A and B are shown apart, each in its own frame.
Chain A
Amino acid sequence: MVFLEFEKPLEKLYEQLEKIKQVEEEGIVDVSDTIKELENKIKNTRKEIYASLTGWQRVQLSRHPERPYTLYYINQMCRKFVELHGDRYFKDDTAIVGGLANLDGQSVVIIGHQKGVNTKMRQFRNFGMANPEGYRKALRLMKLAERFDFPVITLIDTPGAFPGLEAEERGQAEAIARNLFEMAQLKVPIVCVIIGEGASGGAIGIGLGDRVYMLENTWYSVISPESCSSILWHSWDYKERAADALKLTAEDMFNAGLIDGIIKEPTGGAHAIPDEMAKLLKRQIKKALAEVQEMPPDERIDARINKYAAMGVYERITPNPVE
């Protein structure tokens, strides 16, 4: 088990529990009551900790090394997933996966950022940081979905689009911009869910949809708290404050009207009970699809564009009198 900084009280309780379980194995003393008591204490402590998490704590949870990633959810939610590779122009980007799947009898295209589960795989997946070919593969699959009238589901989990030399050469910005433009007018329903990190252009590059949700312990913003701290505070030490200032949690985003809902995570986070999380995720995706599939495509596209057109806060001032 991996304990985050703010989970330290839990770690101690788990250590105690381990020791007592060893005593129980020796079979000399009956410690079952103590074990029960400890297990209760763990449950309550976890509830207490998770009842009021700060922005930065949720950022840490969104990056938890045991957190489930896109392929886990796809395999839990769908039967017959056929992964499709390549953008047909340059190469296959391993930081974004996608393919055809069967979601309770409904054919869908599912696309998502993929992070690696161990050191070697993290490298292989480029830490979930896609190159232009990743966004172009995603678009190719969305166009495939459109042609065969399959809804599109995207799962977002990236620390950002890859800021590399070759990514620039191949047009990282154009790839993301093109996806936004095409997703805005895609004829089939699009449901997006932030399942981990939603960092800026790299996230929204597959994140424009009829419905956008965030898992409870994820973040979505224009910049990571670390980079924000570095740029605005000229130091890496203000990440907690930056996380608060950015209002990047699911709750903040929902209150700002920028996402359509929050998907609750099991106490302890998505990684605590991953299969339970997958069920909750699937339930919300199916509910959202049912809502938006009813609409005629033209109306759905109009509603989608209007939703984004309404995002923003500004004031109108009285113009100055003519000088």
Chain B
Amino acid sequence: MGWFKRLKDGIQTATRNKKEAPEGLWYKCKECKETSTMKELKENFYKCPFCNHHVRIGSQDYFGLLFDGNFEELFGDLVSTDALEFVDLKPYPQRLEEAYRKTGLKDAISVAKGKVNKRPLVVAAMDFSFIGGSMGSVVGEKISLSIDHCVEEGIPLLIISKSGGARMMEASFSLMQMAKTAAKLTRLARARIPYFSLLTDPTTGGVTASYAMLGDINFSEPGALIGFAGPRVIKETIKKDLPEGFQTAEFLLEHGFLDFIVDRKDLKDRMSDLLAIFDSKSAAASAGS
């Protein structure tokens, strides 16, 4: 469970502008620097009540926002292995251990099946808190299994991307997940099952350059950073400052790579509308009844 839940239990009073608020009780907005309580933040769909900045949240939070109550977690038994015996400043298994302890998650993506206003949906949501939301074999395989599941059951798929890109510690295996996920998505397309891709802050690198950009519908949240190369790398390449708003969701919408941007408070309704439209058979049935 994410830090929001853990912290909620500790919330006592709501005193604003308290400096260095203890982690968990308070949220200081990184955009407008205003402070709100975690409770206020959560009630506001994890958006800053002052400036509407969409705070980074985790897979479980999105499941909570989207599903009608209960949902079933899928493929929760998959974990990473250190196939390449990768050691940089730390051995990869140690990085994994630290990520398990810090996040309580098993990898950078969680998959769940539930209902959105009574219509079934499989949601594969990434967690940036787990090694930067990096895509390794587990992420690729869970997406692959999700696609199989959606094809078998005829259920639409929503992938919520939030990632710095490929997981370097899985090197070439992580690179191949780009090909793997894109290739598997052709099977979803052939089965005429809609794939919705929600790109959230941040979505960069190999994730953007594979499944995140391949939705039948690509959409995002306000202000999200989305790109292929990271801003720092681009800045070093062109040796110029980047223009205001470069690589934001709004920038991508303007350049034609997103279908729309949705405020998080409207996310569930928008998904519900889309599911209803794509589910024309039952839509026609309910119109006729």
Q: Which residues of A contact B141 (CB under 8 A)?
A: 312, 314
Instruction: Say yes or no: A245 contacts B88, CB within 8 Å.
Output: yes
B176-202 toward A: CB 8 Å interface, digit per residue (1/0)?
Answer: 111110111111001000000000000
| A58-66, A171-179, A261-269, A286-294: which lies at the interface | A171-179
Contacting pair A164 B234 (CB below 8 A) = yes
Question: How many residues from B make CB contacts under 8 Å with A?
Answer: 64
Stretch at the interface among B41-49, B54-62, B210-218, B270-278: B210-218
- Contact mask for chain A residues 171-199; partner B; CB cutoff 8 A; 1 contact, 0 none: 11110111011001100000000000000
User: Which A-chain residue is minimally distant from B187 (CB atoms)?
Assistant: A305
Q: Give the residues in chain A near B81, CB-CB below 8 Å.
A: 313-315
| CB <8 Å contact, A248 and B172 | yes
Pair A172/B179 contact, Cβ less than 8 Å: no
Q: Are A232 and B89 in contact (CB under 8 A)?
A: yes
* Residue among A161, A164, A176, A311 facing the most chain B CB atoms (10 A cut-off): A311
Residue from the list A176, A178, A232, A256 in contact with B173, Cβ < 8 A: A256
Proximity string of chain B (248-289) to chain A, C-beta cutoff 8 Å, 1 when within and 0 when not: 000100011100000000000000000000000000000000
Mark the stretch among B22-30, B32-40, B111-119, B225-233 that contacts chain A. B225-233
Chain B residue numbers with a CB within 8 Å of A304 are 183
Tell me whether B173 and A309 are in contact (CB under 8 A): no
- Contact of A318 with B77 at beta-carbon distance under 8 Å, contacts A177-B182, A208-B183, A311-B177 already known: yes
Question: Contact between A168 and B246 (Cβ–Cβ < 8 Å)?
Answer: yes
Contact call A164/B237, Cβ cutoff below 8 A:
yes
A180 x B182 contact (CB < 8 A) = yes
Bound CA span A252–B240, Å: 38
Q: Which residues from chain A contact B51 at a C-beta distance below 8 Å?
A: none
In A190-235, the 8 Å CB interface with B consists of: 200-201, 204-205, 207-208, 220-223, 228, 231-234
B173 contacts A258, CB within 8 Å?
A: yes
A171→B179 contact, CB < 8 A: no
Q: Are A245 and B255 in contact (CB under 8 A)?
A: no
**A111 on interface, CB distance cutoff 8 Å:** no
Question: Chain A residues near B17 (CB, 8 Å)?
Answer: none
Provide the residues of chain B in CB contact with A220, threshold 8 Å.
172, 175
Given contacts A177-B209, A317-B79, contact A308 B255 (CB under 8 A): no
In the complex the two chains form, what is the Cα distance from A164 to B77 in whole Å?
A: 40
- Size band of the A side of the interface? 35 or more
Q: Are A316 and B78 in contact (CB under 8 A)?
A: yes
Contact of B228 among A161, A204, A315 (CB under 8 A): A161
| CB of B140 closer than 8 Å to a CB of A | yes
CB-CB under 8 A from A305, the residues of chain B are 183-184, 186-187
Residue from the list B138, B166, B179, B227 in contact with A314, Cβ < 8 A:
B138
Q: How far is the CA of A223 from the CA of B78 in the complex (A)?
A: 25
B171 touching A201, Cβ below 8 Å = no
Given contacts A173-B228, A180-B183, A222-B168, contact A309 B209 (CB under 8 A): no
Contact A222 B206 (CB under 8 A): yes
* Distance, CA A221 to CA B172, complexed state (A): 5
CB < 8 Å neighbour of A177 from B88, B212, B242: B212
CB A310 to nearest CB in B, in angstroms, measures 8
Do B179 and A308 have beta carbons less than 8 Å apart?
Answer: yes
For A253, the chain B residues whose CB sits under 8 A away are 172
With the chains together, A201 CA to B255 CA distance in Å?
21
Q: A172-B228, A200-B206, A305-B187 are in contact. Are A231 and B175 (CB under 8 A)?
A: no
Known contacts A201-B178, A305-B184; can you find 18 more A-B pairs with CB under 8 A? A163-B233, A167-B229, A171-B257, A172-B209, A181-B182, A222-B206, A223-B168, A232-B89, A245-B86, A258-B173, A309-B184, A311-B173, A311-B179, A313-B173, A314-B79, A315-B78, A317-B77, A317-B78
Closest 6 CB pairs of A and B: A163-B229, A312-B137, A180-B182, A184-B183, A232-B88, A173-B208
Which residues on A are within 8 Å of B, measured CB to CB?
Answer: 161-165, 167-174, 176-178, 180-181, 184-185, 200-201, 204-205, 207-208, 220-223, 228, 231-234, 238, 241-242, 245-248, 252-253, 256, 258, 304-305, 308-309, 311-319
Q: List 27 A-B contacts (CB under 8 A).
A: A165-B238, A168-B228, A168-B247, A176-B209, A176-B228, A181-B186, A200-B206, A201-B209, A205-B209, A208-B179, A208-B182, A221-B172, A222-B172, A222-B175, A223-B166, A228-B168, A232-B88, A248-B171, A309-B184, A311-B140, A311-B173, A312-B180, A313-B137, A314-B78, A315-B78, A315-B80, A317-B77
